[in-house]
Structure 1
């Protein structure tokens, strides 16, 4: 039996392959990787991740900072453990890690929805390319238990060769740090002013200044609300959604919480599709999303030189079955 008969409007399900699990990452060809390497002129590398324990005050209660401790055996903690000769020591540790706290990739299994993929008039919970909740993306019974994305896990991205041409659009420079839902026209206006050239197979990076707000809040040690600060894409703008579809980009990454504006989802009456950018990218088009990246230094360096493109290397953890992953991206300019 086929996994789906109907596919969502505006989706590319089945276009790459019946069982495809990497979506638009298929567009990251060897030729496009070679072209990305041509963007390296100075050999300078920028680390694009926040420390994994930032934010120390979580934006969501189900995403907590990592808890690091010593690995243990029957003799206790494996930290400063003397070797039998009494002259050398060993340290091993372990971590309880929330995979989507701090700088992260979303796997395509991160967001799905009810859709009549069978064509029988009854909606079932499905993910990109028709993979099913329960069968392909299994979850616990009750509050605890084993979970696993048997399909669309983050390991599919880890093995896809996440290295290509990154392109920066500096939304902070264009529109400041005030809350703003960025429409297609807003985005294109900023790209035109900054002479940004976007090509098929590119990673689109959006700098909003949110990373600096997070780090400043950490320095103060307070709980200032930040979720709605700065620029974020306007998921209610259908022309923006169509532009993303037509662009042939493989991923969208930003320094903010969700890439898209959260005003609607936080309103008393949220829309039927609560996160339309996530729905388009993860559910319909197979475009990967990177959130809470640290982009401040790279944005400043590029802006001073009127450049926008670079080589991006950003593989996630090869953690089978996970629906997200921490990432330490590197931009080489």
Structure 2
């Protein structure tokens, strides 16, 4: 079956920016003057249907959601979940609960109101932050489609024997993503197709959960006065061209930011290009440990993703409520 996205005339990366009066790299106007979905427009009904038919075979399901209280020590500079359990007395054996948390304290999708072109103070489609106020995050269709999972951490540590400290600004070059694909039995030239979602395991949450008490104390003290560093992809023109020209719908990983932090390649700063330029959601702190084990055991590194961000008008980010289906 021909992928329907292929039939749409689509500009090359070299043709960006589309709005010549806007900032570098933007694709503003590609899907119309009022667009709010960005690259999620690649997820047509036909693309999602095909992805489900090809990838849901056994019915096995894996949650990709980290605990809402996972970042307890070392603490990140965002509010963790506070839960207030309410006894429904005089009813017997009944409770409600109230939650309060930062939408980016755990697994999350960054929405288009999260990060602007810093110099121009403009968000996706040239909007200001206030213009997103009435818009639910990703509307009501959610994010669903075929995922290509790259377990870079397994490749780096098992195949290459690299020493990796994911709590530092360890920059993963684009070339190593391409090297990791054959390690998983995937062809870098033919694996990805329009509408896919790219998911990368950097090993961040594996190391977070496995660190000893002394390391936890050290980082907890450091994070009280400075923003945490973290592993991520090294921003580059080559990486951005790959994401755009393959017509990916979204990207995600298990680190605090999909790109290395702090970002040192400001010309290719992924948060600007993806969120403000293209309207491409960035997933962060996805829990990938059970997924990595299952993919290694079965030899399957593509699957169907169902993710339903919260329907919050004007939302900046959201828990992903993400499930992998095999």
Q: Smaller-chain TM-score range? A: 0.7 to 0.9
When residues 126 and 223 of structure 1 are mapped into structure 2, their CA distance, relative to the original with a 3 A threshold, is same
Which of these residues, 64, 83, 95, is aligned with residue 99 of structure 2?
95
- 1-structure distance, mates of 2:280, 2:263: 22
Contact 1:55-1:218 within 8 A present in 2 as well: no
Contact 1:28-1:201 within 8 A present in 2 as well: yes
Written as runs of structure 1 = structure 2, the 5 A alignment for 1:114-263 is 114=118, 124-133=120-129, 135-136=130-131, 149-150=132-133, 153=135, 155-176=136-157, 178-179=164-165, 180-196=170-186, 197-217=191-211, 222-225=216-219, 227-228=228-229, 231-235=231-235, 237-263=236-262
- 1-structure distance, mates of 2:76, 2:205: 17
After the TM superposition, list the runs of 4 or more consecutive aligned residues in structure 1 that deviate by more than 4 angstroms.
Answer: 217-221, 226-229
Tell me how far 1:215 sits from its aligned partner.
2.2
Tell me how far 1:222 sits from its aligned partner.
2.8
- Say how many residue pairs are matched: 287
When residues 9 and 255 of structure 1 are mapped into structure 2, their CA distance, relative to the original with a 3 A threshold, is same
From the CA coordinates, give the structure whose radius of gyration is larger.
1
Gaps of 5+ in 2: 1-18, 158-162, 221-227
When residues 315 and 34 of structure 1 are mapped into structure 2, their CA distance, relative to the original with a 3 A threshold, is same
Gaps of 5+ in 1: 71-77, 116-123, 137-148, 266-270
- 1-structure distance, mates of 2:179, 2:196: 19
Instruction: Tell me which protein shows more helix as a share of its residues.
Output: 2
- 2-structure distance, mates of 1:69, 1:228: 32
Instruction: Tell me which protein shows more strand as a share of its residues.
Output: 1
Tell me how far 1:218 sits from its aligned partner.
8.9
Contact 1:259-1:291 within 8 A present in 2 as well: yes
Tell me how far 1:184 sits from its aligned partner.
2.1
Contact 1:315-1:329 within 8 A present in 2 as well: yes
TM, length-normalised to structure 1: 0.79
TM, length-normalised to structure 2: 0.80
Q: Which residue of 1 aligns with 2:14?
A: none
- 2-structure distance, mates of 1:255, 1:206: 7
**Aligned CA-pair RMSD:** 2.4
When residues 262 and 297 of structure 1 are mapped into structure 2, their CA distance, relative to the original with a 3 A threshold, is same
- 1-structure distance, mates of 2:125, 2:240: 19
